[in-house]
Structure 1
């Protein structure tokens, strides 16, 4: 990638790395492309937020775009990007046909974040009090939209190996169309470990997670109603600090000083909060992707207790940064054990550091990803010829989505 290339990122929202793992992930991708000398424009139809990152300070051009508006066609023709990265399938649905029509030679990448259809199918199974089955995915309208989007793109970036297996085994998608690129982190070095607070210097349990994300809200309810009372029986003085961006009134009403269940709202610095806590609790009962909160806990040397879904695709064959438990009474017992027992706590901390250093270092992935992009760019037409399903969907989508969008545009005038 020697000549200056242009990357256009079409964002679902403006990145908020302090509010969600998705925001942190996006900044990692920006950093990766910046390192390769790309000129980067980040465009989004979303409204500005008080907590969004200052993109200009990272050398990224910021552009507000409109849905169903010809102005985007003029903008992208003038920009003429070599690569377009869609942030989640909804952005590819909205703008993919315009990109294909106006910049047919641009490489189209999709950052999935997680498989939305998997998260929603699991959520539905949970609410219907039945086990999740992979065939449930076929019943989700979102699956049809999301898989169509993956097929229309040249390459989809996946953060979860489990989800890659689903794409291949359940949806029969060619492996050439997706690529494993997890969170890209710096190594945890011995000097950093020595700066971390010790077991004795830390106190309290924490939960952290954006409340716009349904699995987080459900986990906090579960903590309040079921798990926290079991922990408090054994540790009557225990305190749980619940952090998260965008708490609703329902969340704020769970605050109870007497029960040691404190709703803290948005964390100004999530890492600082995790570094001071002794144990992270994450009893997630549905969801998808890999969990930024649990990876952040590992980076901060903070052990965690989570569920099978919480730890999914995160640790490979390595021992967990604490315990993985689904049954609530065992979850509570293990939380107390981890909180009280220094030896177990230190071992858990070491496990977490090993997971970060062996599975998430950016140096393990960056060069290989750059090569993959170069190969695709050099042979894009051949790559697309092999993806007939994607070409067929692109053809029909151009017709259906295009004319729906043009109709909305005409109606708006």
Structure 2
């Protein structure tokens, strides 16, 4: 029988480990946002189980990227934007920030649009009004972080993540996918050129620049730069945090594709979120459609607040200036609302936002791998050679596919 004296240190260690959990679940919101809904459901509806392997690969890549981001924040006590800004001249820092700010606006457009579409589906609200409401709710969520601290914000975002999980996966219990077809979908292959474009879109919607920037800041703010003695345990627990969050996000992404393959395969008119909602209503019933719309609403609310938080991290790290988070929320909301007020097509707007996001990925991934692979930056926690090789390979694949997506979209092939 274990004595209380022997048990107390174990309990204390367990509490310390549990305190590390949370940042990855906030970053994981970027992996289940409205852009993911659009690409995954379209892939399943058009190609069945063909691109299951792409979703799995994308989430494995995301797991590596997010761990390296958290690792940088823990070891150096700096966010990725701070590490970049420290090594750039003033003009270069401003140029880097400008591209990151454009990417942040594109991110906000997709997230606000997702919430607006959900409110339109649920209550028939005009898209512009839905965008305003989404912005107001996200401002309230940011106020939680501003007043109650990061930990409370993580709780709220994790709760919304659970709503997303239920909303997007409930349909699988009504229309379970084929196990044999799912396994067959794990074999890497493509069908035609459009399936390659969709694969690039899935990857572009999965690995997102603002999640990479933010995760390093969340790890930094929670724990600061750690002593060498504590780092091994903290990094192990961080791996658990990232692994659990990415498994959850990956399950949602795979589930969305499988649901579309099982219930919507071969149906017309499912190349938009509204079309998917209508098809789910008609095929699986109003209850599943309602849960899907609620999941989309939670994704819009959570992802736009997380995106705005990430934008403030980038601004602070690169420009070395801080503005009130709520003021930034208001300023970054304006471009998205102008876009909606102009009557832009929701589906095309999502596609445009994903292409813009593709431009920003190399600026986040290349410095991240470079920093975590250098002993002068990371000390004894520098990446091991196999990790460095895998990380550069992942970066090369992501950048190449996103360049392909940009070229195919701009040339009209996509």
TM-score range, shorter chain: under 0.3
Structure number with higher strand proportion: 1
Q: Which one scores higher on RCO, CA 8 angstroms, separation ≥ 6? A: 2
The alignment's TM-score, normalised by the length of structure 2, stands at 0.24
| Structure ID, larger Rg | 1
The alignment's TM-score, normalised by the length of structure 1, stands at 0.24
